[in-house]
A and B are shown apart, each in its own frame.
Chain A
Amino acid sequence: MTTIDARPASDMNIVSTGAATSEGGQELKPRGEISQKALMREAGAVLRLSESAAAALSEVAGDIGEDQSMIINMGPQHPSTHGVLRLMLELQGETVLRCKPVIGYLHTGMERTGESLTYLQGGTNVTRMDYLSPLNNELVFSMATEKLLGIDDDIPERAQWMRMLLSELNRMSSHLLFLATNGMDLGAVSMMLYGWREREEVLRFFQKVTGLRMNHNFIRPGGLAADLPAGWRDDVLHLLEMLPDRLAEYEILMTGQPIWRERLQGVGVITQSEAIALAATGPILRSTGLAWDLRRDMPYLKYPEAEFDVVVGAHGDAYDRYAIRLQEIRESMRIVRQILDKMPSGDYRIQNKKVTPPPRGRINESMEALIHHFKIFTEGFKVPEGEVYVAIESPRGEIGCYIASDGSSVPYRMHVRAPSFVNVQCLPHMMRGGLIADAVVVISSIDPVLGEVDR
């Protein structure tokens, strides 16, 4: 009973000013401590607004006394902040006036780590960034390395189709997890179980192919680590048979349900010009009606040979983003079906002595093969000097990899353009003027992966 009251006043001060943590300068400041310009920016006026839009904004961010609003802290430990996202929210009653994401709680210096791993080991590092779509991370890193090596046009057909298969299945598993967490955040707990269950089926296939459920390091510069195992086609067909009925169930459970629509429609709205100005990509950009998908607009792998639709929304709200991701699972299934039809036979990796280790059998027979194998896995292979930026469409948007090489066997600088890191900047704009109860919905609809935000 007396524990709180008995605490010395100085302790309570520390808690309330945030001085116990050292994020002081990164936190949301009270209105009295910042300039009018900074206030307008934090309230969401970073864009060149039209007069009507600015007028609409002033209804929310207008002059209110400091005693009428309250700054609260949400996260980093909170079940619905998807990892360790911390938000500082300024509230007036239940209305969110300002919001500031404070990130970095999961920062482990992965870009710095990447500077000490060879190009062959690099995959183990980048695959842990966006841990919900590890294969897409590996893919973009491998493609950047291949471009620097100048072998990007020589990757065998089968390797490219295999990469596409894994990338699309990974998109499905990632979106299934989104449906699960989105349901959980809104209180549809059954959906959490269903989404997780279906995702597990996809991960089971990954385990069969790569040996691991996550963090595969399977897509490597030059191709893939191994060929598809026997029976893979049946496993994929099993997934394709199972999923349509399950997705139809989700539609009944959520899409058709009035409460679900009420909670999502008109919540977290972002306009197309805002999304472009904030460099939002993926489902967030597409929810505003702009059909921008790197698979179609700046194609890579064999996407030009696949037929699929780019799903767009019209309102830019949380419901559109939910519906887009649900429909994208179906589009990915459509692509996977075409991959099954078109998968050629052939090699799963490039036969280039520089980057490809000799086959296991040769090592027993040939001394040169043994040395070669040893050198590739210890020293790695040298990559010519240069710099390159490669981007692909991950489930969350544009994931890019910028590598600067100094001609050695480790990247001089390896930077990953993480879609979640950039998309999190949309939060203040989506939350402004909304209700605190909808804050959870907005976070969920961004679908951030904090491993990738903080790297």
Chain B
Amino acid sequence: MSGVVADESHGQRVLFVERSEYLAAVTALYEAGFTMCVDLTAVDYLAHESRVVPDGVVTQRFEVVVNLLSIANRERVRLRVQVGDGESVASLFDVHPSTEAMEREVFDMFGVRFDGHPDLTRILMPEDWDGHPLRKDYAQGRIPVQFKGAAS
């Protein structure tokens, strides 16, 4: 299949899939027995652009990470999809309904949009929240801690 680069990470199977081939690859894997999508998450690589990827993979800011499980073969495979800032990816909802909440979480936390998701609303943050908290450029609030007796 074009647009797919196979790799291995600590003995685990990893596939780098192009954004345009993502849904087709997941569907093909579904046909091959990977019937359960156990996890879907994302990473914002804004602060770590020099990460190591196999040849032929063009890195983008975001990476959608999908963990698929084949119960029949007791096998796992992980998909890593490069997604640029402002770009959207296809929703897996029609293949794996379990991704409904997970894609909402990724949208909520990273602002990555999923085309074809039936209900792409925030899930953990309030509806009127500004920004996406797990983005690396999202300001992290801090409360200064004054230790007792500290010299000022």
Interface residues of A (CB under 8 A from B): 21-26, 37-38, 41, 46-47, 103-104, 107, 109, 111-112, 116, 147-148, 150, 276-281, 290, 292, 297-298, 385-389, 391, 398, 400, 402, 404, 406, 412-413, 415, 417, 421-422, 424-425, 454-455
Contact = CB atoms under 8 A, between A and B. Distances in A.
A107 B39 contact: no
Nearest to B128: A22
A417 B140 contact: no
Contacts of B125: 104, 107
Contacts of B98: 277-280, 422, 425
A424 B133 contact: no
B5 interface: no
A112 B38 contact: no
A276 B30 CA distance: 12
A37 B109 CA distance: 27
A277 B134 contact: no
A35 B126 CA distance: 24
B148 interface: no
Contact of B96 (A279, A388, A404): A279
A417 B123 contact: no
Contacts of B121: 25-26
Given A25-B122, A402-B39, A406-B48, A112 B127 contact: no
B67 A111 contact: no
B38 A104 contact: no
A412 B50 CA distance: 13
A304 to B, nearest CB: 13
B134 to A, nearest CB: 6
Given A24-B127, A388-B12, A425-B101, A298 B48 contact: no
B97 A389 contact: no
Contacts of B37: 279
A87 to B, nearest CB: 14
A112 B118 contact: no
B124 A103 contact: yes
B39 A104 contact: no
Contact of B102 (A385, A386, A422): A422
Interface in B12-61: 12, 35-39, 41, 43-44, 47-48, 51-52
A148 B124 contact: no
Given A22-B129, A147-B10, 5 more contacts: A277-B35, A277-B98, A386-B9, A389-B67, A391-B38
B38 A281 contact: yes
A412 B46 CA distance: 11
Contacts of A24: 127
Given A41-B118, A279-B36, A417 B101 contact: no
B35 A276 contact: yes
Nearest to A109: B133
Given A22-B126, A281-B38, A412-B43, A388 B10 contact: yes
Contacts of B128: 22
A23 B119 CA distance: 13
21 contacts: A22-B126, A22-B128, A23-B126, A25-B127, A103-B124, A276-B36, A279-B37, A298-B74, A298-B76, A386-B9, A389-B12, A391-B76, A398-B38, A402-B39, A413-B134, A417-B38, A417-B39, A417-B67, A422-B38, A425-B98, A454-B124
A292 B69 CA distance: 12
Given A279-B38, A279-B96, A387 B126 contact: no
Contacts of B109: 111
Contacts of B97: 46-47, 277-278, 425
Given A391-B38, A406-B51, A277 B96 contact: yes
Given A25-B127, A290-B71, A413-B43, A112 B10 contact: no
Contacts of B12: 388-389
Contacts of A41: 118
B122 A292 contact: no
B4 interface: no
A292 B10 contact: no
Contacts of A421: 101, 105
Nearest to B52: A385
A22 B51 CA distance: 38
